[in-house]
Every structure is written in structure tokens, then in C-alpha cells.
Amino acid sequence: MVRHLLPKDHPNRDNPDYIVTACMFCNTADNRYFDMAERRGVSFEGLSPDQLVAQRLPYVEATRQSYREFWEANVAPRQDYDMTESVP
Ligand SMILES: [Zn+2]
């Protein structure tokens, strides 16, 4: 999957230097990033591709963390479950 580092109205949006590959998770983890940029005070002017990635990373990681917490609360095997009790 490819991911643009710049919003739709930016002149460098389709410059290959500003397009990265991302896995499915990261690609969808923060798919309203550009919509939210103004509210979050995120800006794209004068930043290198590496700086753009670094700026975005915390938002992707926040989504990963919330998924992790959901998994631990709802999906993960319970830590206090005693396996020996289920043996007949
Ligand atoms: Zn990823």
C-alpha cells in the first residue's frame, strides 16, 4: 500500500519522495490524519519526508495502543485463569 505524506492540496503530494509504503494496519490506523491536521496544529510546510513520518508516527502509535488495550481487555486469555482446573 502507498501512503501520501502530504495533503491533497499540496504541490508536492505526488512527488515520489513524499510517498511511502505502509502495511494495511498503518495505512488505515489514522486515515483522517489530514482532516484532523488543522485541529491538531499539524503543518506540512518545509518538512522533509523523514520529518513528516516522524510527525505522523505518534498518531499511528496511539491507534495501535488503543487496539492493544481493546485486545487485552476483550480478547487476550485471562492471566488468572488456571488451566489445570479444566482438566477432567
Ligand atoms: Zn505498519
Q: Which of 18, 12, 23, 4 is nearest to 50 (CA)?
A: 18
Checking if the pLDDT of 86 tops 90, the result is no
Checking if the pLDDT of 81 tops 70, the result is no
Q: Which residue has the higher pLDDT, 80 or 14?
A: 14
Q: How far away, in angstroms, is 80 Cα from ligand 1 center? A: 31
**pLDDT for res 88:** 63
**pLDDT for res 74:** 93
**pLDDT for res 85:** 62
Q: Residue 81 and residue 66: Cα distance in Å, rounded?
A: 24
pLDDT band at 30 (very low <50, low <70, confident <90, very high): confident
Q: Which residues surround ligand 1, an ion (CB under 5 A)?
A: 23, 25-26
Q: Domain map of the chain by residue range? A: 2-76
Q: How far away, in angstroms, is 60 Cα from ligand 1 center? A: 9
Q: Which letter, b or e, does each residue of 45-55 get, where b requires 16 or more Cβ atoms within 10 Å of its Cβ?
A: eebebeebeeb
Q: For residues 1 and 27, is the Cβ–Cβ distance under 8 A?
A: yes
- Is residue 3 classed exposed, middle or buried when 0-12, 13-18 and 19+ CB atoms within 10 A define those classes? middle
Residue 19 φ/ψ, nearest 5 degrees:
-125, 130
**pLDDT for res 49:** 96
**pLDDT for res 24:** 86
Per-residue pLDDT tens over the stretch 42-78: 999 999 999 999 999 999 999 999 999 999 999 998 7
